[in-house]
Structure 1
Amino acid sequence: MRISPIHLKIKIDAIVLILFASLCSCDSSENNHQQALTLNFDAAIGNQRFHTGEIFEAPVGSGTFRIERFKLYISNLILTNVDGEDYLVPNSYHLLDFSEPSLQVDIPNVPVDNYNRLSFMIGVDEVSNKSIDHVGDLDPTNDMVWNWNVGYKFLLLEGNYFPSESNETIGLVYHIGFDENTRRLEYEIKEKSPSYSFRLNVNSLFDSQHQIDFNELSNITFSKADARKVADNYSDGFIQME
């Protein structure tokens, strides 16, 4: 039986349409099984909203202080479902730069599931911390690296302290890094939502497991013992889910 060119073209067009519809259906099905997730972060000092350049009461001891720069890394976000299965968000390295008091982190293409736990690290994991040849939020131009041998600053806080007993101005410099100072924070998800909000209390960095008086310890960079104190503090109530 001989098929005319016209009938052949019609059949080919029909096959193409079927394949196209099938592909679209697959794409749609895949999209229906993924969702976007948003993490909102607000910074505070005690009960007051945080703003760079403003003066606040010192969290320990007397005097006042002002923060000019405040940045930190969160990374390796994990969502855990009710069966205990983890979803590690790929390439989840996020620099929170609190030049503004509120920040938003958008995470696309999260598999839809019944999650009941969420966790992330403060800092950068050991593998990525061994190299500064990165892009995005890990780009060295973000001023959050020392060098290839030391790695990243997990948290950077700089400002000034004004003792109450004198007119002196003392510079505050806290650059916290080193592999051993990553800390994983874990939160319970009580209700499914496309977004979750967190509140950072800067005072907790200095008044938690360890009390850090600006008058006594105004600079922490390469001292591992002192850096560990700040790391212990940021693992204990520093970031609360709201």
Structure 2
Amino acid sequence: MIKPGALFSLLFIGSLLFVSCKKDQEIGPKTETPVTNSKTSAVFNFKALADNLPLIPNTKWYVNANGDNYTVTRFNYYISNVKLKKDDGSLFYESESYHIIKHLEGAKSFTVSGMPEGDYDQVEFTIGVDSARNVSGAQVGDLSPDSVMFWTWSTGYIFFKLEGEYQTLTAPVGATYAMHVGGFSGKDNALKTCTFNLTNKISIRNDKQPKVFYDVNVNEIFTNPTTIDFDTYFVITSGQHGKTLAGNYSDMFSVNHIEN
């Protein structure tokens, strides 16, 4: 593990001890008032890959676990309710914690600020938007309806959006897919919480800004635990198919390295 104060250290994927993602029946913003420090922050970066190669939009064809060919023209999702755990067990909850990642539109990172100084050995976040904000009326910033990640006030936010073309033995030439996942309550709840336990800690110090780099593997969306075939899943909104896809994409994240 990297020691606090080491300069320009690069910690690779071996730093990741354990990653887990689960459905949370009642995910919501934390009500605790976090201790904040105006001089601290950390940047979280997300790099889209197809297995081990950078994701190339629009023209590059990829093959999923079912043997279907596909391109990617849009790859968006919400990350919310970011929580950091310090090595002494104390927790920091980011306030107003809602971020859109739009891989093909340049929105591939966000900054979390105000955490107390210390060494943090766990990161947790939710994929999606919690029930409280889904029913809160018109909002701004990353929660604005103009984000193209919103259905209606009755159905709420789109948590995950993947679009492109696909080819199978039966699909016509130029067939397109639109996998849009949402649903925040009851049997349609597709919210997922992901936890990353790190041996190489994030060192938070005044006037320094560590960076956490995640790899996001698009091919993980189509496998584990369910193999996805495009002929069945080419259009998804919510319901059981959306929950199935959420169960797959919840493990598309892995920590590549940390720069303290």
| 1:238 and 2:243 correspond | no
Q: Secondary structure at the residue paired with 2:202?
A: coil
* Structural mapping, 1:91-240, within 5 Å: 91-100=96-105, 103-163=108-168, 168-179=173-184, 180-189=189-198, 190-193=200-203, 194-222=210-238, 224-235=239-250, 237-240=251-254
Tell me how far apart the structure 1 counterparts of residues 171 and 241 of structure 2 sit (CA, whole Å). 26
Gaps of 5+ in 1: 1-29
Q: Secondary structure at the residue paired with 2:243?
A: helix
CA contact (8 A) 1:200 1:240 kept: yes
CA contact (8 A) 1:183 1:231 kept: yes
Deviates more, 1:101-110 or 1:65-74: 101-110
Q: TM-score, normalising length from structure 2?
A: 0.75
Displaced runs of 4 or more, over 6 A: none
CA contact (8 A) 2:179 2:233 kept: no
Q: Point out the structure with max Rg over C-alpha.
A: 1
Considering only aligned residues, what root-mean-square deviation do their CA atoms show, in Å?
2.0
Deviates more, 1:146-155 or 1:162-171: 162-171
How many residues of Structure 1 are paired with residues of Structure 2 in the alignment?
A: 210
Q: Offset of 1:34 from its aligned partner?
A: 3.8
Q: Secondary structure at the residue paired with 2:108?
A: strand
Q: Offset of 1:169 from its aligned partner?
A: 2.4
Q: Secondary structure at the residue paired with 2:242?
A: helix
* Matched AA of 1:62: G
Distance 1:176-1:184 versus aligned 2 partners, 3 A rule: same
Larger helix percent: 1
Q: Offset of 1:63 from its aligned partner?
A: 4.0
Tell me how far apart the structure 1 counterparts of residues 167 and 232 of structure 2 sit (CA, whole Å). 13
Q: Percent identity?
A: 28
CA contact (8 A) 1:41 1:102 kept: no
Q: TM-score, normalising length from structure 1?
A: 0.80
Tell me how far apart the structure 1 counterparts of residues 145 and 107 of structure 2 sit (CA, whole Å). 23
Tell me how far apart the structure 2 counterparts of residues 157 and 86 of structure 1 sit (CA, whole Å). 33
